[in-house]
Amino acid sequence: MSDRNVIVSARHTYLVCYDIANDRRLKKVFKVCKNHGTHLQFSVFECDLNPRELVQLQRELKSLIKQDEDQVLFVSLGPAEGRGDRVISSLGLPYSKFDAPCYVV
């Protein structure tokens, strides 16, 4: 395997956080993020992505949001491999894994 293949396939972990102004767009953004990562909090996902998957996710989200009303943040947490166990702590209510979808009323 060449160095190029290793670099292209290296996975990084990202926190994907969003603030979407419209309920219909919010539901669509949620579905896209759910397909790419783990739901941590109402509008926060943890996604392990290679560079190609990151571009694909960004492309999908860009096609859904309104650039002048919505915001999606990608926070790189570094390489997915060798990072050790994920540790999540919280203030206030304890962290609990989301298994249920997000509903907007």
Torsion of CA 40, 11, 62, 95, to 10 degrees: 10
Please give the model's pTM, rounded to 2 decimal places.
0.78
For CA atoms 24, 101, 58, 68, give the dihedral sign: positive
Can you tell me which residue has the tokens 């539901």?
Answer: 27
Interatomic CA distance for residues 92 and 84, integer angstroms: 25
Right CATH for 11-79 from 3.30.1050.10, 3.30.70.240, 3.40.50.300, 1.20.1740.10: 3.30.70.240
Tell me the pLDDT tens digit for each residue of 61-79. 999 999 999 999 999 999 9
In percent, how much of the chain has pLDDT > 70?
82
**Six-digit token string for 81:** 């491999």
Domain ranges of the chain: 11-79
pLDDT of residue 82: 78
Mean pLDDT confidence for 22-33? 97
